[in-house]
Structure 1
């Protein structure tokens, strides 16, 4: 799959989203945490939720992201079905938001969200009770602790750059250098990509990667054939097995 480089420009322009969980035990009926991180300011929003589906994602954007921070330019997620679906794509498209999917095998694409997830989890581990059933109630406290500045206000004021014109020039130079570097990296990476054109009705085989770790002399590394029922965006396919049951896979 081609690389999707990220270029942050303004605060709240680019958000990364991801689910944490499932957590055991559940807390007030909640099993997951949906996290959203702004790539520029590193500001984080998170909500506890009973399931990890598209309804929860849409609720986060309609009740928190859009009204508090405005409409972003880009939203970055992994390729899970809770993010790759027609309902969420319709919401993003109706607001003019570009949805980017983190390139498989390149976790640095969504690295900021992963870092925030680990930090929130570390804070919760230190604040929950012995039974750990109160983690949903403690989430707001964890967010408050995460958002606290690392420097006192007076010290931070002394370190601020007062020449705003010079600061803007430095920022734009850094942005341009980052853009050129990522364009070159993308070009070098995409040269190695062998594009595949899947069509509805095609018969395909699935490669069983587990057999690389647990090889069997009489077992084939390929399963199938399966019929392609639907070609989804971001390298996903809906297949039909011999019993006619649907399942979704990623080929990238």
Structure 2
């Protein structure tokens, strides 16, 4: 009974006041009937029944003591630099010595020497996850790709050994990035011969006039025109430089808005400043710099840096900081010129990319896929901000070379078969 008494005392503390009353026997007929029934038993044995309880009748609260093994990669280097302690294994000790040359202890924390800027704060796997989450889809996130995400973590002042692969896995498993991924217009397999559908039906054209779309300036298309003596002409946009830059930027902003708004499509104007700020603080692949740094000569302080301090925010010297900023302003024009050269090189790489062959897209039974959103399945009122993919669905049958039967999460089979062109792999 002591356990019940302790339980009553525990509950007693949650009340401001309480009272105990004795119930008269006349009003407690059920308990009285049970007592009388027990007294009428014919068993005169004086034995006491023993009941084995497999668990306590009153469950005790469980205590969880989490163990953080996140310092596994930091600990050997930190111990060597601080106390000259090496692992017992000689081969492992040599590795630690070689690695330690690139690290340094500042303010009681481990930092890595960087080739691109100041020292990088070394973080544990748990802290690395918080950094990726903050930079990818939280207060300063824009759902950027894996390369931009890892580069942005370095720009923010953080380092851990598996930055690239962790960024890839983080982006790969992001539900919003999968649902709002752009639709690939590349065929899932080999294209049928173009001659049968164009030349054999309409004859060889004298001239083809196109815009500057990548599919029309590709190496294969130019060879096709040269082979059949077709004159290839391009229409001239009014201002191609501004048009291309504006379209590229707007595409990035709209894609980020899709992933951040979810069902609140009408709130896009309120979210736009956050998206623009995130865009301006993310290194662009074409320039290798953030738009913010090309304007102000230094990187912006992001929210995660207030929780996980970096080398520049740990005990800053205001006078020295202002002097360094002045030097950066003097070199800002040179920095912008280098960014312009990188942009030209990147544009040439993009042109070469479109000349590559198409990879065959094949799914297996029981694979999970997303299906392209069509006009009849588009979210009502979403417009351009709606997702481009829906699902996930499971492959239940391979109908043809690139055709599949699919089943939804509700277990219901979809009647039509779907071409691989309208499907993409889904990762949990």
Q: Indicate whether the TM-score tops 0.5.
A: no
Q: Between the two structures, name the one with larger relative contact order (CA 8 Å, sep ≥ 6).
A: 1
Determine which structure has more spread, i.e. the larger CA radius of gyration.
2
TM-score, normalised relative to structure 1: 0.35
**As a proportion of its length, which structure holds more strand?**
1
**As a proportion of its length, which structure holds more helix?**
2
